[in-house]
Amino acid sequence: MCKYYAKHLPSLKIVLLSDDNENRRRGVENDGLLAFSCRQYIESLNKPELVDRIAAKEKKDAEIDEMQVTDTTRKNKQIIFPEHMRLADIQMGLKSGRLYQGSFQASRENYLEANVFLHDNEKYPQLFVQGYKNLNRAVHDDIVAVELLPESEWATPTSLILEEVEEDVGDYVNEREEDEQVINKPNVQKLPSARIVGIIKRNWRPYCGMLQLSDMPDATRHLFMPAEKRIPKIRIETRQSDKLKNQRIIVSIDCWPRDSRYPLGHFVRCLGPIGDKETENQVLLLEHDVPNYPFPQSVLDCLPTLPWLISDEERAKRLDLTKLAICSVDPPGCTDIDDALHCIVLPNGNYQCGVHIADVCHFIRPGTAIDEEANRRSTTVYLVDQRIDMVPGLLSSNLCSLRDDGERFAFSVLWEIEPKTAKVLSTQFHKSVILSKASLTYEQAQMRIDDKNANDELTKGLRRLNDVAKIMKSERVSNGALTLASNEIRFNLDSETHDPIDVVSKKLRETNSMVEEFMLLANITVARKIYEVFPQFACLRRHPKPPISNYDPLIKAAESKSIKIEVETGKQLADSLDKAIYNTREE
């Protein structure tokens, strides 16, 4: 056949791939062919993942041949972990109540500890797992079956941060059981503890990280160190370690045998050099499962065409608020402006205050491609130097952004408010058309409020909003509202490279609180209206009261400074923190 092609198609180069040395020799001498072994050909492609796959096959074939002669490579293997129960036995255990099912959540600080959050179990909402054998090869986010330990074996979490020590990872390593110490602290309440007896569902995914090279010469076995600390190290086979060192790579888990301290996996692909900005951004996005691919054409087809104009028919359906002195107040550099405010004086002396939210629903209809894509993305994600949009920029930064460059569709909530008490007298809801008069930063809005010489309608409206917001906040705090705000930071970026050049703390001004109070009032007002009109479908986003035990570290730390912290109610905690700040300043 080769001679036929050589005769009739002389311009066609024929390559013979064979792992048989004699076949390759004959192909070269008798037929004048290019002849390579599979390894030689794949290495010429410069594809590390393909080289690793053929290397794994060669390794497996070599081990099979060696096992036919001797078993010395395996006689030193020790069983480290208990055997997992079969699913049928697990199901029987769950029915009888002897076993529990839950989600495995590994500890970030101690690789020998984890919690299993049980499904619909009031008595044991979560169980503590400590020790290598008890963890029994579970990986973070797996759905596992656990068995409650006798109370005499319940344990206490250690306060130490424990990390796995580096060890020899050569081809033939004696796997040894990690030395374990059960933490028995006197006079400390122990947690209900359990051991994992089976895996109901593996939730493995590709993991980002770096290679920890073996110290042994010519080693092909190496450890992969995931970027996520809750994921164990993964042993992989690769002959491309020289190319993969100092690189961020992706690895997938294949299995976790009972005689291996680490799960076994394989190299998937390389992301780029460690420390490179683009590479590290990719790691963040992949590890947090943030979709960052371009919007598909089906989504772009849902966008309106430019120039976009409001039709007379649509304008007739909405309340025209374009003549009001409406403005937005946001952080510096904000382009997706989703809310705006105004305040005017009514003929009876009361204020009309309004919050206007961008009408995204006009452009995104249920069940469309853009709606489904937004559902997948869930939210806009902000990195230091880029933004991953939930919807295309034509909407997020233009037509659905309440900028001061044209008319926009909005949902508006209008209140009649008594100025001195901030009491809401009446409320109206409208689909509206607005025309923002200014896109202000918090600092710019504050400067307008503080400038005594500024008396334009927009500035006077900001002053009224600020006065009302102060009264509303004072009432909330007196009613027990708890404020636990920490300083936020922002990055100053180089205008050309977009690299961060400075980190500054965001200064909180009265205008921050002003916007917060009116957005909170809008949420409360809309929630009440939804409950009133759709009581069977209204949902409450509820933050459960945390267990008192969660405050123990705070209480003990405060006691060391002779400060008493009361945590029975949110108001008690707020008052205690205020007193602590006051006493610290006095000292």
Beta carbons of 117 and 103 less than 8 angstroms apart: yes
Q: How far is CA 232 from CA 100, 138, 252, 531, in A?
A: 24, 10, 12, 47
Does the structure show a pLDDT above 60 at 1? no
Amino acid 48: pLDDT: 61
Beta carbons of 232 and 193 less than 8 angstroms apart: no
CA distance linking residue 188 with residue 190, whole number of Å: 6
Does the structure show a pLDDT above 70 at 170? no
Amino acid 316: pLDDT: 93
| Sheet containing 194-201: order of strands | 126-130, 113-118, 99-106, 143-148, 194-201
Q: pLDDT per residue over 194-206, tens digit each?
A: 999 999 999 999 9
Beta carbons of 161 and 111 less than 8 angstroms apart: no
Q: What confidence category does residue 479 fall into, taking pLDDT thresholds of 50, 70 and 90?
A: confident
Beta carbons of 209 and 249 less than 8 angstroms apart: yes
CA distance linking residue 397 with residue 405, whole number of Å: 12
Q: What are phi and psi of 448, to 5 degrees?
A: -65, -45
Strand boundaries in 131-217, DSSP class E: 143-148, 194-201, 207-212
CA distance linking residue 234 with residue 255, whole number of Å: 10
Reported pTM: 0.73
CA distance linking residue 537 with residue 440, whole number of Å: 37
Cis, bond preceding 307 (omega within 30 deg of 0) = yes
CA distance linking residue 454 with residue 477, whole number of Å: 31
- Top mean pLDDT of 426-440, 482-496, 497-511, 568-582 is at 426-440
Amino acid 461: pLDDT: 95
Amino acid 233: pLDDT: 94
What DSSP assignment string belongs to 528-574? HHHHHH-TTT------PPPPGGGGHHHHHHHHTTT-----SSHHHHH
| Count of CB atoms situated within 10 Å of the CB of 309 | 10
Q: Is 227 helix (H, G, I), strand (E, B) or coil?
A: coil
Amino acid found at 552: D
Mean pLDDT to the nearest integer, 223-235:
93
What DSSP assignment string belongs to 469-513? HHHHHHHHHHTT--------EEEEE-TTT--EEEEEEPPP-HHHH
- What percent of the chain is predicted at pLDDT more than 70? 86
CA distance linking residue 510 with residue 518, whole number of Å: 13
Give burial (CB, 10 Å; 0-12/13-18/19+) of 283: buried
Q: How far is CA 494 from CA 150, 274, 491, in A?
A: 60, 22, 10
Q: Is 235 helix (H, G, I), strand (E, B) or coil?
A: strand
Q: What confidence category does residue 181 fall into, taking pLDDT thresholds of 50, 70 and 90?
A: very low
- Top mean pLDDT of 70-79, 379-388, 548-557 is at 379-388
Q: pLDDT per residue over 137-167, tens digit each?
A: 999 999 999 999 999 999 888 766 666 655 5
Beta carbons of 435 and 407 less than 8 angstroms apart: yes
Q: Choose among 141, 129, 150: nearest CA to 197.
A: 129
Q: What confidence category does residue 36 fall into, taking pLDDT thresholds of 50, 70 and 90?
A: confident
Does the structure show a pLDDT above 70 at 7? no
Q: Is 577 helix (H, G, I), strand (E, B) or coil?
A: helix
- Judged by average pLDDT, the poorest of 23-27, 230-234, 316-320 is 23-27
More confident residue, 376 or 579: 376
Indicate the average pLDDT of the chain.
84
- DSSP character at residue 83: P
- DSSP character at residue 149: P
| Count of CB atoms situated within 10 Å of the CB of 267 | 25
Q: What confidence category does residue 169 fall into, taking pLDDT thresholds of 50, 70 and 90?
A: very low
CA distance linking residue 112 with residue 178, whole number of Å: 9
Beta carbons of 353 and 465 less than 8 angstroms apart: yes
Amino acid 82: pLDDT: 93
Q: pLDDT per residue over 532-545, tens digit each?
A: 999 998 888 777 77
Encode 75-106: b = buried (16+ Cβ within 10 Å), e = exposed: eebeebbeebbeeeebbebeeeeebbbbbbbb
Amino acid found at 440: L
Half-sphere exposure of 337 (CA within 13 A, CB side): 31
Q: What are phi and psi of 254, to 5 degrees?
A: -100, -45
Q: What confidence category does residue 362 fall into, taking pLDDT thresholds of 50, 70 and 90?
A: very high
Question: Could you tell me how far CA 44 lies from the centroid of its own chain?
Answer: 39
Expressed in angstroms, the distance from the first to the final Cα of the chain is 96
- DSSP character at residue 304: P
How many residues are given for the chain? 587
Tokens representing residue 80 in the block: 């480290």
Q: Choose among 262, 274, 231: nearest CA to 168.
A: 262
Does the structure show a pLDDT above 70 at 583? no
Beta carbons of 241 and 212 less than 8 angstroms apart: no
Amino acid 392: pLDDT: 94
Amino acid 63: pLDDT: 45
Q: Is 108 helix (H, G, I), strand (E, B) or coil?
A: coil
Give burial (CB, 10 Å; 0-12/13-18/19+) of 482: middle
Q: Choose among 436, 432, 435: nearest CA to 320.
A: 432
CA distance linking residue 69 with residue 88, whole number of Å: 38
Beta carbons of 341 and 325 less than 8 angstroms apart: no
